[in-house]
Structure 1
Amino acid sequence: MSDLADSYRYCGAVTAEHGRTYHLATRLLPARRRAATYSLYGFARTVDDIVDVDSEGDAADTAAELDRIEAMLRLCFYEQSAIGSRVCPSELQRVLPAFVDTVADFDIPHDYFFAFLDSMRMDVPGTPSHRAEYETMSELRTYMYGSAAVIGLQMLPILGTTGRVDEARPHAAALGEAFQLTNFLRDVGEDLDRGRVYLPARELSAFGVDTDLLKFSRRTGTTDRRIARALAHLISVTRSVYRSAEPGIAMLDRRVQPGIRTAFVLYSRILDEIERGDYRVLERRAVVPRRGRWATALPQFARLALPSRRWGRDERRI
């Protein structure tokens, strides 16, 4: 039990270090669901980091590493234990007990995680599925299904719904996409440094923007007005995805709605910060100021403090 508790604590630390906005919002979740959310984040973040670091070296080695991770997952899911940790990368060993426990406890479909690994393979240069750029939004959505939409779908069993799960799924998938599109807009410069452009080429070209212009602006620390106009358009597209996702919040268990609402608002405010910074994402990273994060979260904490017979008891297994 101590190994499992340590694993959950480690996943919480990973979430706090790498996802400040996300971590703040998850503090509004009941304890068991919060811990489960940390375990999923810890797994996804660790695999993503392995791909980012290893893809700078030999692509074949990185692809083989992803194959080993997939084999490890299949073994763990079959055994319903972290037995596969002995063959997984060391970076995953501390995450795996909490992750496997969460997947089994909430009966999360395993295919979601294999779809995630398929999208990670698309980030590895030299592999058959690699994509450094995406021509259309439709092509990007193929990538985002495994890298973002399934994250929202994984969360549904943890969060719980008040009605039919199949009605909530499209909204959960849209929320995952909205969060990732926000990340793509915020991280254009960092992604360029890794040899990737996630913003669809056709959307950019409509404003006279191509990869060479993005690289020039990154290198010189300037933002061409054509880039600003393209980003403004893509922010509008992303906000439309948020609008598609929003009705799903009311379909969730009442106890988790404040946390998801907070994440929804805080992440969408990153778009506001990009606009407020005159679209200079190639020079600096847009973040919601700490004061703004707490101003959003505190009313939701207060809401949770109100008694409600319908909310029931908090789960405290971890």
Structure 2
Amino acid sequence: MSPPVSAAYSYCETVTGQQARNFAYGIRLLPVGKRRAMSALYAFSRRVDDIGDGDLDPAVKQTRLEDTRRLLGRVRTGEVSEDDTDPIAVALHDAARRYPIPLGGLDELIDGVLMDVRGQTYETWADLQGYCRCVAGAIGRLSLGVFGTAPAPAGGALDTTRAPEYADTLGLALQLTNILRDVREDAADGRTYLPTEDLDKFGCSTGFHSDIPPPGSDFAGLVHFEVRRARTLFDEGLALLPMLDRRSGACVAAMAGIYRRLLDRIAQDPQAVLRGRVSLSSREKGYVALRGLSGFDARRAARRAARRSA
């Protein structure tokens, strides 16, 4: 690997280490090449998210997002050289050369962030799924391009053609957990992600602008309803684990495990999301990562997948 490419990856790994609260715990379990590629994907995704979350005028945000899409086009067509001044583009180009990464997923991410910029709301769960597939399901499918799938064991019946579907579903589970965790923060930014039909059903259509639920609402009922939906998505998406090699599976199990623990914590105290950001300690995240490396979650997911196919 040339010095410019190595430096570009180092930059992306620094971005990931500084800004990825949960993501970094998973990818540190990967071998060097895959970890670098995942850092390049994260750094590009972080740039897109930062544009969407910034304090700029919406028209300026849209322009910058389309500029970023054009940069992605240059990466896709191989117009980026190792001497390019943009380290994220250099690293992403090298990663896409080494792994079959479906770069169209980053176009989907840009589409999803444009939905945020336009202030889109979602009437139904089906509507919200479309958004989640752009901003999270696509990341799952991009990551699968780096992970690859492991050959099924002798006599096994794993259908690895469904791996992208499971990766997408797992992305939805993570994103719905994020939406629940950030419901107060998003409301302060003028964003509402939970489906309108769900908000109406539980008397929460007035929004979340304080540390107490809307008057007369069943806020706990709303949270538990969405938690059940997210848990179902986790159960379906974790069928991906037996299809991955040990270290890739450990990476996915660690990230999913952190978010499932967040979900459990939210379910135990629904109003906590109105009081502040629900999080896990570094010690807890480290424990989940070690559990993923042990293969415990992968074995459990394999047993569940076998029961579903029986």
Name the counterpart of 1:276: 268
User: Does the CA-based 8 Å contact 1:182-1:270 persist in structure 2?
Assistant: yes
Normalising by structure 1, report the TM-score: 0.83
Specify the SS of the correspondent of 1:95. Answer: helix
User: Does the CA-based 8 Å contact 2:170-2:233 persist in structure 1?
Assistant: yes
Q: Does 1:183 align with 2:178?
A: yes
Separation in 2, partners of 1:52, 1:299: 33
Letter aligned with residue 140 of structure 2: G
Name the counterpart of 1:254: 246
User: Does the CA-based 8 Å contact 1:270-1:286 persist in structure 2?
Assistant: yes
Separation in 2, partners of 1:83, 1:302: 38
Name the counterpart of 2:299: none
Q: Does 1:214 align with 2:214?
A: no
Letter aligned with residue 188 of structure 1: V
Q: Which moved more, 1:26-35 or 1:292-301?
A: 292-301
Separation in 2, partners of 1:112, 1:178: 17
Separation in 2, partners of 1:113, 1:256: 21
Name the counterpart of 2:47: 46
Name the counterpart of 1:24: 25
Name the counterpart of 1:140: 128
Q: Which moved more, 1:77-86 or 1:33-42?
A: 77-86
User: Does the CA-based 8 Å contact 1:149-1:173 persist in structure 2?
Assistant: yes
Q: Match for 1:296 among 279, 284, 288?
A: 288
Letter aligned with residue 67 of structure 1: E
Q: Does 1:266 align with 2:254?
A: no
User: Does the CA-based 8 Å contact 1:70-1:117 persist in structure 2?
Assistant: yes
Q: Does 1:174 align with 2:175?
A: no
Q: Does 1:37 align with 2:32?
A: no
User: Does the CA-based 8 Å contact 2:247-2:293 persist in structure 1?
Assistant: no
Separation in 2, partners of 1:7, 1:286: 33
Cα pair distance change 1:178/1:84, threshold 3 Å: farther
The 5 A counterparts of 1:62-77 are 62-77=61-76
Q: Match for 2:139 among 146, 151, 156?
A: 151
Separation in 1, partners of 2:194, 2:270: 18
Cα pair distance change 1:213/1:198, threshold 3 Å: closer
User: Does the CA-based 8 Å contact 1:270-1:288 persist in structure 2?
Assistant: yes
Cα pair distance change 1:286/1:185, threshold 3 Å: same
How far has the Cα of 1:301 moved from its partner?
4.5
User: Does the CA-based 8 Å contact 2:187-2:207 persist in structure 1?
Assistant: no
The 5 A counterparts of 1:70-85 are 70-82=69-81
Q: Which moved more, 1:69-78 or 1:182-191?
A: 69-78
User: Does the CA-based 8 Å contact 2:181-2:266 persist in structure 1?
Assistant: yes
Specify the SS of the correspondent of 1:79. Answer: coil
Letter aligned with residue 199 of structure 2: L
Matched length: 286
Q: Match for 2:95 among 93, 102, 111?
A: 102
Normalising by structure 2, report the TM-score: 0.85
User: Does the CA-based 8 Å contact 1:153-1:172 persist in structure 2?
Assistant: yes
Letter aligned with residue 108 of structure 2: A
Cα pair distance change 1:282/1:233, threshold 3 Å: same
User: Does the CA-based 8 Å contact 1:135-1:200 persist in structure 2?
Assistant: yes
User: Does the CA-based 8 Å contact 2:78-2:93 persist in structure 1?
Assistant: no
Separation in 2, partners of 1:180, 1:84: 36
Which of structures 1 and 2 has the larger relative contact order (alpha carbons within 8 angstroms, sep 6+)?
Answer: 1
Separation in 2, partners of 1:223, 1:69: 39
Name the counterpart of 2:302: none
Letter aligned with residue 132 of structure 2: M
User: Does the CA-based 8 Å contact 1:161-1:251 persist in structure 2?
Assistant: yes
Separation in 2, partners of 1:50, 1:84: 25
Q: Match for 1:117 among 110, 113, 117?
A: 110
Specify the SS of the correspondent of 1:123. Answer: helix
